[in-house]
Structure 1
């Protein structure tokens, strides 16, 4: 029996840890999922169970290597960002995998920003809003000042994707998609580490930078598969679009957060943009990706519960509400210029719909249309922050809202001069992680049919 050539991809989220095998056409031929119970660090804060994760990687690989039908040619990793594993000379973790939501000491934060030019100046240089532990470089700074003895023992601080790669290859590298994502480590104006990284003795704790699409040999003798150095998940999810589309585009990735990614906007972040939660990611070829975000998916969850409770309905009903342009026109007539008006800075954080009286709506369907209209108004305000001044003609939407007909039709109404597409692709992050190392394992050309698109045109008279 001829073996199927495959790439193994570990896609590690905060909740689900998945292993996929993709064939050379990027079809999933094997999938395994695991969930671990969190542990706590020395302060009682919840954190990832690093030992469970490490054992799971080896157990999962052992399992797929036993399967005779597959020939594993390469392995790569993508994980959530802002998380460091600190290893000693022997490659052993020195402490827990601290949670990026762990509260950051206010005095230490003040000390840092006062030393390095203040929050506004520093944030502009590093394209990193002030986010505490979510700026992963700040975790290293904290380690140096709060645990100096432990800091001295660190051979390397590896972001989580690079640690998982290290487990298989035995080689330590840093990757620009992790280093360049709101870490406070990278100076976007200079295209190098920020000066504080060397001044504080952090640079020597960071492994050498390697290209995101590079591979190294496996550490285990007798194995011929290649090992990728790992990618930050947000950057990995963008790769299929960069590979398939060469004209400029914007991707709105929708989930708990609605994140607008513009890989074709290289203008430096302004103070105003940083204050409105804009940041820069780094794509796998090392170019900045300007991004904006708001809490759209979370807000949808909350307001759907409120509508369902008020109208005595099941929340599942709102997954399939059809778009009704007449309802939108009625809402516009009744509420005039309020409907579809540009969202203010505050409205990016606060839902307009949360302030609305549900008793003013004749039905739950009408209320839901109003909610999505308010939400899309927020979406446009957020997207405009990274769209402004660029010649983008296409907007792709993936994730949960790409399946919401009201959201998609209203977005098309707000952007009559652009092509709006709902994009669907199974496991975009894992596919992107595989595509990054395509040339090292795949004998076929890069695929151009892995993203399904549904076009939304302006087909109604709603004047937005």
Structure 2
């Protein structure tokens, strides 16, 4: 059976999939590794262990007699660089994108190259410290000059995974163009600070995201891609399946609203609300906004479980009840003095954390209020990327797509759009496979690689 092998490396789970020509998963392998610490004592990925796992797992997959691997590609978390020396051996650490950032280095950078607001607008990157991977390279240059002097290439993690197979160094626009501070979206090239600091000298040449390298492994030829930033890869199944404009709300720890059909430049206000642009695999900008909704849902359901003496996952048993929504909207419970002080809720949390749970008679009533509050924030977040674009469809994938209360309220919040719960098995891995489809697969892309469920607007919820 002809297959494509895809490595999908997340912060927690490391996966290898084999997809057949119809893009069904026919084999998979998953691993989890404990973190180690870097030279500052901060948590980080154990690069040697990850490297060994990738190489051993690929050898295992290539040796399975039932499958004939034709191509290999990669998706992985972004905002993280692996550094190679002149002998193409890793040096330093795979620093964590949550690593604390030195105040003096940050101040020096912005004092030299412009205000946070100006640089954020030019690079479509909110100021996120270590999450701006370009800023991490700047930090290494001044905070760890001995290490910087040894670096010949800095590869984003997905491109390092590709390097392990191809032994060639390339950059990819989906990694370079995602909240890195590296790319000038107005000039469509590296920002001038990158060249002024010589950072461009350690960034490998850009390689087309949908192209492949011909690689020989044990006298067999394989078409190998250079890897994808996972959030860009997750969008590809939708771009491959739908021609009409849409927004994808990808939900997990973060709820990320992505609009590939909004080309308007970011405004300072949008950046203030945690909007950004990233470059999809064809090089076009995708406007995106982020909400910490999954994390908040996790924290608040723990609070609900404790207050009402229920299991932590009891919310999964709560059915959508329009009458409860109507009741909450007509006599919304007063939530005490804390709630009165919160006139303008911050974008990243809803009002529910300030509500007094004693004012709810049941867990079910309180949980409906939580989702009402989360969807109120989701409306603000998604509206930021929806504005003035011809979108008629909203797709929701991930955890909230399976939540009937969230989905019903979202349909009511966007009455001008069709709102669908979408299900794609392993979207990031599938996207990395689809991107190089024509290099290995002679079959047409299947029509139904995404399962959809339309949510109708309930008049009671409006």
Shorter chain as denominator, the TM-score bin is over 0.9
Whole-angstrom distance in 2 between the partners of 1:113 and 1:268: 22
Whole-angstrom distance in 1 between the partners of 2:278 and 2:334: 36
Structural mapping, 1:45-124, within 5 Å: 45-124=42-121
Per-residue CA deviation, residues 185-227 of structure 1 (Å, 9 max, x unaligned), is 0000011100111110111111000111111122535121111
Whole-angstrom distance in 2 between the partners of 1:72 and 1:221: 13
1:302 to 2:299 alignment: yes
Whole-angstrom distance in 2 between the partners of 1:318 and 1:113: 45
Whole-angstrom distance in 1 between the partners of 2:358 and 2:343: 25
Structural mapping, 1:257-276, within 5 Å: 257-276=254-273
Contact in 1 for aligned 2:46/2:94 (Cα 8 Å): yes
Contact in 1 for aligned 2:296/2:349 (Cα 8 Å): no
Structural mapping, 1:23-422, within 5 Å: 23-218=20-215, 220=217, 222-335=219-332, 346-422=345-421
Q: Which moved more, 1:237-246 or 1:113-122?
A: 113-122
For the aligned residue pairs, the C-alpha RMSD in angstroms reads 1.5
Whole-angstrom distance in 2 between the partners of 1:33 and 1:403: 24
Match of 1:440 in 2: 439
- What secondary structure, in the 3-state scheme, does the structure 2 residue paired with 1:7 have? strand
Whole-angstrom distance in 2 between the partners of 1:106 and 1:286: 33
TM-score normalized by the length of structure 2: 0.96
Per-residue CA deviation, residues 418-445 of structure 1 (Å, 9 max, x unaligned), is 1000000110111001001101111101
Runs of 4+ residues deviating >4 angstroms: none
Q: Which moved more, 1:377-386 or 1:344-353?
A: 344-353
- What secondary structure, in the 3-state scheme, does the structure 2 residue paired with 1:224 have? strand
- What secondary structure, in the 3-state scheme, does the structure 1 residue paired with 2:50 have? helix
Whole-angstrom distance in 1 between the partners of 2:91 and 2:59: 26
Match of 1:427 in 2: 426
Contact in 1 for aligned 2:259/2:286 (Cα 8 Å): yes
- What secondary structure, in the 3-state scheme, does the structure 1 residue paired with 2:249 have? strand
Q: Which moved more, 1:347-356 or 1:365-374?
A: 347-356
Contact in 2 for aligned 1:248/1:391 (Cα 8 Å): yes
* Equivalenced residues, count: 456
1:283 deviation in Å? 0.6
Structure 1 residue runs of 5 or longer lacking an equivalent are none
Contact in 2 for aligned 1:13/1:80 (Cα 8 Å): yes
Whole-angstrom distance in 2 between the partners of 1:252 and 1:391: 16
- What secondary structure, in the 3-state scheme, does the structure 1 residue paired with 2:72 have? strand
Change in 2 beyond 3 A, CA 1:255/1:31: same
Contact in 1 for aligned 2:214/2:224 (Cα 8 Å): yes
- What secondary structure, in the 3-state scheme, does the structure 2 residue paired with 1:209 have? coil
Per-residue CA deviation, residues 336-387 of structure 1 (Å, 9 max, x unaligned), is 999xxxx986342232011111111121111111110011001101111111
Whole-angstrom distance in 2 between the partners of 1:421 and 1:96: 42
Whole-angstrom distance in 2 between the partners of 1:269 and 1:284: 20
Contact in 1 for aligned 2:293/2:349 (Cα 8 Å): no
- What secondary structure, in the 3-state scheme, does the structure 1 residue paired with 2:318 have? coil
TM-score normalized by the length of structure 1: 0.96
Contact in 2 for aligned 1:256/1:295 (Cα 8 Å): yes
Q: Which moved more, 1:414-423 or 1:329-338?
A: 329-338
Q: Which moved more, 1:177-186 or 1:276-285?
A: 276-285
Whole-angstrom distance in 2 between the partners of 1:136 and 1:57: 23
